[in-house]
């Protein structure tokens, strides 16, 4: 397994950041948002701060000292954070919600010409491809960069500093290239011992679909590729942090399946909403029932009193490959 750094400042050194963006004004420090690499305040932000301080001084001279707290200087720098398992269902839901909001806000002739609506329309019709080496990213021209590769996300936020998008991408690229392409451990406590979920698919069955595994199949924290000695799931990891995750339910699978199907009424029998170009469906197979959730991308299968959940959105295959592997795994439930 790969080792996690002690905190967010362990992903890239101060020296590396300096080589990309220039001298820091202080040592990096970890926060809840990531590691802050302090940089000189840009002229515009410094000017805004000085204006606020001067206005507060004039008001105090005319009306007396305010009870409000003193104005703190703006912070400046880049904030670097790494998420080792970015739940793809969250990104999928946020994307759908933003698309819905954009449609509702821009669905009339008066609003359609607003800059925000025109930009959203351009992005929807011809989204900018991610930089080389990333599966997806935020759109330019933001100087901040958000990049995802497999299940890993690197987030470089620019705060009131003269840092370009190209420099943000360079920081993210350095972190990505230095990160071991191996499983990372879960930080949650281990489960009680249970059946090994990795018995459901063999390496020689998986590799023709996913490609060469970087490590043998391993037990992982529930529904994630994060390694756990007695995990309920099994992860099949290929290059670039891509992982297929199987999560069997060994007893009371019918109850679990019904619960999944009932959540928000989102699960459907065949999943064309999820996979417009899919040739395969969930209609036939060694299962008694099957469904896909358009909100999360997860696939669910029921066989007797056992169920199987399959997550493939951060794997190296698509819907058809996932169903092909599900036919084998469900046959062994």
The whole-number pLDDT of residue 270 equals 41
**Cα 7–chain centre separation:** 19
Q: Do residue 172 and residue 250 come from a single domain?
A: no
Closest CA to 48 of 71, 68, 79, 30: 71
Q: Do residue 327 and residue 245 come from a single domain?
A: yes
- Could you give the residue ranges of the DSSP H alpha helices within the chain? 14-21, 43-63, 88-105, 109-112, 115-125, 165-178, 203-210, 253-262, 319-331
Q: Do residue 298 and residue 157 come from a single domain?
A: no
Q: Do residue 207 and residue 165 come from a single domain?
A: no
The whole-number pLDDT of residue 118 equals 58
For 274, the domain range is 197-331
Tokens 């459901």 correspond to 200
Q: Would 253 be classed as within a structural domain?
A: yes
Q: Do residue 216 and residue 311 come from a single domain?
A: yes
Two structure tokens written together for 75? 């912070």
Closest CA to 172 of 161, 182, 158, 160: 158
Tokens 């043998």 correspond to 216
Q: Would 62 be classed as within a structural domain?
A: no
179-210 residue pLDDT tens: 999 999 999 888 777 899 999 999 999 999 99
Q: CA 231, CA 222: separation in Å to the nearest integer?
A: 6
The whole-number pLDDT of residue 162 equals 86
Boundary residue ending a domain (178, 206, 238): 178
Which residues does residue 156 pair with via DSSP β-bridges, in sequence order? 80, 145
The whole-number pLDDT of residue 113 equals 59
Q: Would 144 be classed as within a structural domain?
A: yes
Boundary residue ending a domain (143, 178, 213): 178
Q: Do residue 221 and residue 320 come from a single domain?
A: yes
| Domains held by the chain: number | 2
The whole-number pLDDT of residue 104 equals 61
Q: Would 88 be classed as within a structural domain?
A: yes
Cα separations in angstroms, 190 against 72, 83, 195, 233, 250:
44, 20, 14, 12, 18
The whole-number pLDDT of residue 267 equals 46
Q: CA 103, CA 170: separation in Å to the nearest integer?
A: 34
Boundary residue ending a domain (178, 209, 233): 178
Q: Do residue 151 and residue 230 come from a single domain?
A: no
Q: Do residue 147 and residue 31 come from a single domain?
A: yes
- Could you give the residue ranges of the DSSP H alpha helices within 149-198? 165-178
Q: Would 130 be classed as within a structural domain?
A: yes
Q: Three-state SS for 220?
A: strand
pLDDT along the chain (333 residues), means of 10: 94 97 94 92 66 75 73 74 83 54 59 58 66 91 92 92 93 97 92 87 97 97 93 96 95 80 49 48 84 77 92 91 95 92
Edge-to-edge strand list for the sheet holding 34-38? 29-31, 34-38, 77-83, 152-159, 145-149, 136-137
Q: Do residue 173 and residue 279 come from a single domain?
A: no
Q: Do residue 202 and residue 144 come from a single domain?
A: no
Closest CA to 184 of 240, 134, 230, 241: 241
Q: Do residue 163 and residue 225 come from a single domain?
A: no
Q: Which residues have a Cβ under 8 Å from the Cβ of 297 and sit 6 or more positions away?
A: 88, 89, 92, 274, 311, 312, 313
Two structure tokens written together for 299? 């696939």
Q: CA 16, CA 28: separation in Å to the nearest integer?
A: 12
**Cα 315–chain centre separation:** 13
Q: Would 47 be classed as within a structural domain?
A: no
Q: Do residue 171 and residue 234 come from a single domain?
A: no
Q: Would 45 be classed as within a structural domain?
A: no
The whole-number pLDDT of residue 297 equals 74
pTM, rounded to two decimals: 0.80
Q: CA 209, CA 150: separation in Å to the nearest integer?
A: 16
Q: Would 264 be classed as within a structural domain?
A: yes
The whole-number pLDDT of residue 150 equals 94
Q: CA 44, CA 226: separation in Å to the nearest integer?
A: 43
């Amino acid at each position: 397994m790969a080792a996690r750094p002690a905190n967010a400042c362990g992903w890239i050194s101060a020296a590396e950041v300096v080589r990309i963006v220039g001298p820091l004004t202080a040592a990096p420090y970890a926060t809840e948002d990531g590691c802050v690499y302090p940089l000189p305040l840009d002229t515009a932000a410094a000017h805004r701060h000085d204006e606020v301080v001067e206005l507060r001084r004039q008001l105090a001279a005319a009306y007396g000292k305010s009870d409000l707290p003193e104005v703190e200087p703006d912070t400046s720098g880049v904030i670097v954070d790494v998420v080792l398992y970015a739940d793809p269902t969250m990104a999928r839901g946020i994307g759908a919600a933003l698309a819905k909001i954009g449609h509702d806000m821009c669905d009339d002739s008066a609003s359609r010409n607003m800059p925000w609506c025109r930009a959203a329309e351009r992005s929807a019709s011809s989204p900018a491809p991610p930089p080389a080496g990333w599966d997806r990213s935020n759109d330019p021209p933001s100087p901040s960069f958000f990049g995802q590769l497999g299940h890993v996300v690197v987030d470089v936020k620019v705060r009131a500093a003269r840092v370009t998008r190209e420099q943000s991408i360079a920081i993210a690229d350095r972190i990505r290239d230095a990160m071991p392409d191996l499983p990372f451990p879960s930080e949650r406590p281990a489960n009680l011992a249970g059946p090994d979920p990795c018995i459901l698919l063999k390496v020689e069955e998986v590799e023709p679909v996913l490609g060469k595994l970087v490590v043998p199949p391993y037990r992982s924290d529930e529904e994630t590729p994060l390694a756990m000695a007695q995990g309920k799931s099994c992860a099949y990891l290929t290059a670039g942090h891509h992982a297929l995750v199987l999560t069997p339910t060994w007893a009371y699978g019918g109850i679990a399946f019904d619960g999944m199907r009932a959540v928000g009424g989102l699960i459907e029998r065949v999943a064309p909403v999820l996979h417009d170009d899919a040739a395969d469906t969930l209609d036939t197979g060694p299962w008694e029932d099957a469904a896909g959730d358009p909100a999360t991308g997860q696939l669910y299968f029921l066989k007797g009193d056992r169920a199987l959940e399959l997550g493939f959105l951060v794997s190296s295959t698509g819907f058809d490959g996932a169903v092909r592997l599900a036919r084998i795994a469900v046959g062994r439930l």
